[in-house]
Amino acid sequence: METRDPSDIDRIVSERIYARRNQLEMSQPELAERVGVTFQQVQKYENGKNRVSAGRLYEIAKALGVTIQYFYESAPRLALSRRGVAEEQSEFTGPDTGEELELLGAFRRIQQAGARKAVIDLAKKQARPQPKPVAKAPRRKR
């Protein structure tokens, strides 16, 4: 049986799984339970010993609260001859900054529904463009 070394993309995906899990302060056993594998399997995914199948990556993305694209955001673009649908998008979206991930992790730990709604309302209010003050025209002398 032929085994292949992990590709650069495989390594990036495994690093992103590890980073996101740690950002959320989630243990390997907790992620494993959510995905339906052993924590040893999560270890193998994170250190690149085992490749992550498409179906498993979908389950991991759900468990970590990100899109599948999140795992590929830092990957270099593939050569044009190998481009697929995902690579044709000009930009991937999803939380990728430390602040966004920190906010998402903290939000997920809020237990009270009212408090969660208050955080959402605050974020929406702050995200609205603020009206610019209208400059008053100078007064004319008579």
Would you state the pLDDT for residue 27? 95
pTM of this prediction? 0.55
- List pLDDT tens digits, range 9-39: 888 899 999 999 999 999 999 999 999 999 9
Per the rule left: phi > 0, alpha: psi between -120 and 50, beta: everything else, 48 is left
Higher pLDDT, 70 or 108: 70
Total domains present in the chain:
2
16: domain CATH number? 1.10.260.40
Residue 37 CB contacts under 8 Å (≥ 6 apart), including other chains: 56
| Average pLDDT taken over every residue of the chain | 80
Instruction: Give me the percent of the chain exceeding a pLDDT of 90.
Output: 37
* Whether 75 contacts 12, CB under 8 Å: yes
Residue 75: inside a domain: yes
* pLDDT number for residue 136: 67
pLDDT of residue 97: 64
pLDDT at 23: 92
Structural domain containing residue 115: 97-127
Do both 25 and 73 map to the same domain?
A: yes
- Do 73 and 112 share a structural domain? no
User: How many whole angstroms separate alpha carbon 73 and alpha carbon 92?
Assistant: 6
- Flag whether 12 is in a domain: yes
Alpha helices for 36-83 (secondary structure H): 39-47, 54-64
83 with 109, same domain: the answer is: no
